C-alpha cells in the first residue's frame, strides 16, 4: 500500500463480493466461485483499485474522498456480454409470435429502415438503461457501430463493439467490419475494444468465416457471432451440411482464435469435444429471457462450464429480451438452469453472480481487466 500520497477514494465497512482464488480449499466456495468478505475497505488510486483489505487497516490512510459503506455490498460492475443496444427502439413492438415470424415479418423490415439518428438515440438510451442496472461493460453486435462507439465514449461505459456483416453484402461488409475494429480498438481511453462480427454461420459463408478467423489472428481481435442459436438451426445445419454450427466454426478455424458465441442453445453434446479442444478462448453469451419467449431450449450452461467454456450472461437486444437488465438474466439463468437440470443446487445465486461478472468479462476478452474486485482492476 502506497501511503506516501493520499488515495483518491477509500470505501470502508462494505461487504465485498470477491471471486474465489483458484486454490480455494472449500469445495462449495470453489463451485460457486464467489464469496463475501465483511467489513472490507477498497482503496482506489488513479481510477484503479489498488487494495482490498480490512477496514481497520485503512483507518489512518489519507485520501481525497472516503465513503462509509456500512450495510452496503460492493460488487464489480456487471458485464452484459451480448446485446444489440440500438434495438431498445424496438422494445415491445411485437410479442407472442414464433421467432421466424417475429423477425422476418416485423423486426427485420423495421431494422432495415432504421436511420442513424434512431440508432444513435437507441444506443444512448441503452447505455443509460445499463448504467442504471449496474452494467459497466457490454458487448455489442450491430450496424452503424461508430454511432454506438460514440455513445460509449460519451457515457463512460466500457464496451467491446463489432460491426455486423453478412456475406450477402459482398466483401465490403467484411471489410467494413475489419475497418471499424481496427479504427476504434482501444479508443475512448482504452474503454472501447472491438471484435470482428460475422452475423452467423447461416448468413456468412464458410469462406468468409475462414477469412474472418485469419483476420482475427493477424490483428489479435475477438470474433463475436451468433451460432447454434437454437436447436432448429443446428438441425438445419446438420441436414444441409452434415455439420453442426459449432462444427462449421471449427472447420473455419474460429475455435483457434478468441470467439464469443451468442446463445448456443442449439449446442449438442457432440460439440463439446471441439469446444474443449479449442486453442482460442471460447465464450458463450447466454440470454435466457428471449429463449423462453421463443419457446427454445436454454443454453447448456453446465455442459459448457464442464468443457472449459466461459459462459457469460447477456440480455440480447431489447426487442427479444424486452430489458437490458443483467440482474434479470442472473435470476432467470439460476431458475431455468435449476429446472432444466432438475437440480435445485445448480445454478446457485453465487454462480449467477460469477457468470455475470468475471465469466462475462472473460467471454468478452476483458477478464484480466474487469469483472472482479481485485487489485489492479
List interacting residues with a second copy (CB under 8 A): 95-99, 102, 289, 291-296, 298, 332, 335-336, 338-339, 341-345, 348-349
Q: Is the Cβ–Cβ distance between 187 and 153 less than 8 Å?
A: yes
CB nearer to a second copy: pick between 55 and 321: 321
Q: In this complex, which beta carbon is closest to a second copy, that of residue 9 or of residue 94?
A: 94
Cβ 318 to a second copy shortest distance, Å: 15
Q: Return the number of other C-beta atoms located less than 10 Å from residue 9's C-beta.
A: 15
Q: How far is the CB of 346 from a second copy (least distance, A)?
A: 8
Least Å distance, CB 345 to a second copy, is 6
- We find the least distance from the C-beta atom of residue 99 to a second copy, in angstroms, to be 7
State which H helix or E strand residue 287 sits in.
Answer: none
Classify each residue of 145-181 as buried b or exposed e, where b means 16 or more C-beta atoms within 10 Å of its C-beta.
bebbbebbbebebbbbbbbbbbbebeeebbebbbebb
Residue with cell 429480451: 321
Give Cα 371 distance to the centre of its chain. Answer: 11
Single out the residue of 190, 182, 177 nearest to residue 224, CA to CA. 177
Of 94 and 121, nearer to a second copy (C-beta) is: 94
- Least spacing, CB of residue 350 vs a second copy, in Å: 8
Residue 356: Cβ within 10 Å count: 28
The H-assigned helical ranges of the chain are 27-32, 99-101, 108-111, 116-132, 145-155, 171-184, 206-219, 231-241, 245-252, 272-277, 288-293, 301-306, 318-321, 326-341, 349-354, 360-363
Q: Which is nearer to a second copy, 176 or 231 (CB)?
A: 231
Sole residue written with cell 475462414:
210
Closer CB to a second copy, 177 or 348, in the complex: 348
> Is the CB of 234 or the CB of 250 nearer to a second copy?
234
Q: Is the CB of 66 or the CB of 338 nearer to a second copy?
A: 338
First-to-last alpha carbon distance for the chain, in angstroms, is: 15
Q: Give min distance, CB of 32 to a second copy, in A.
A: 9
Amino acid at each position: 500500500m502506497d501511503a506516501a500520497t493520499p488515495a483518491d477514494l477509500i470505501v470502508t465497512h462494505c461487504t465485498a463480493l470477491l471471486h474465489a482464488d483458484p486454490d480455494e480449499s472449500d469445495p462449495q466456495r470453489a463451485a460457486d466461485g464467489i464469496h463475501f468478505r465483511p467489513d472490507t475497505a477498497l482503496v482506489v488510486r488513479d481510477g484503479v483499485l489498488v487494495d482490498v483489505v480490512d477496514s481497520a487497516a485503512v483507518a489512518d490512510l489519507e485520501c481525497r474522498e472516503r465513503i462509509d459503506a456500512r450495510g452496503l455490498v460492493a460488487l464489480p460492475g456487471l458485464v452484459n456480454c451480448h446485446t444489440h443496444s440500438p434495438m431498445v427502439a424496438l422494445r415491445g413492438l411485437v410479442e407472442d409470435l414464433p421467432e421466424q415470424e417475429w423477425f422476418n415479418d416485423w423486426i427485420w423490415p423495421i431494422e432495415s429502415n432504421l436511420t442513424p439518428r434512431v440508432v444513435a438515440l437507441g444506443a444512448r438510451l441503452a447505455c443509460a438503461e445499463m448504467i442504471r442496472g449496474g452494467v459497466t461493460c457490454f458487448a455489442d453486435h450491430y450496424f452503424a457501430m461508430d454511432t454506438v462507439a460514440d455513445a460509449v465514449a460519451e457515457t463512460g461505459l466500457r464496451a467491446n463493439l463489432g460491426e455486423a456483416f453478412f456475406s450477402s453484402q459482398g466483401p465490403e461488409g467484411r471489410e467494413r467490419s475489419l475497418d471499424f475494429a481496427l479504427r476504434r480498438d482501444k479508443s475512448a481511453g482504452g474503454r472501447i475494444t472491438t471484435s470482428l462480427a460475422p452475423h452467423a454461420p447461416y448468413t456468412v459463408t464458410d469462406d468468409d468465416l475462414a477469412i474472418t478467423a485469419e483476420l482475427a489472428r493477424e490483428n489479435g481481435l475477438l470474433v463475436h457471432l451468433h451460432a447454434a442459436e437454437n436447436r432448429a438451426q443446428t438441425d438445419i445445419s446438420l441436414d444441409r451440411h452434415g455439420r453442426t454450427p459449432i462444427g462449421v466454426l471449427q472447420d473455419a478455424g474460429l475455435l483457434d482464435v478468441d470467439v464469443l458465441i451468442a446463445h448456443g442453445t442449439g449446442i449438442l453434446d457432440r460439440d463439446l469435444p471441439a469446444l474443449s479442444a479449442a486453442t482460442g478462448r471460447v465464450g458463450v453469451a447466454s440470454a435466457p429471457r428471449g429463449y423462453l419467449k421463443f419457446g427454445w431450449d436454454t443454453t447448456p450452461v453446465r455442459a459448457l462450464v464442464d468443457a472449459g467454456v466461459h459462459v457469460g450472461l447477456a440480455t440480447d437486444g431489447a426487442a427479444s429480451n424486452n430489458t437490458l437488465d443483467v440482474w434479470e438474466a442472473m435470476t432467470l439463468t439460476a431458475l431455468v438452469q435449476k429446472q432444466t437440470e432438475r437440480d435445485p443446487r445448480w445454478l446457485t445465486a453465487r454462480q449467477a453472480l460469477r457468470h455475470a461478472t468475471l465469466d462475462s468479462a472473460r467471454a468478452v476478452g476483458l477478464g484480466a481487466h474487469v469483472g472482479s474486485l481485485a487489485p489492479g482492476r
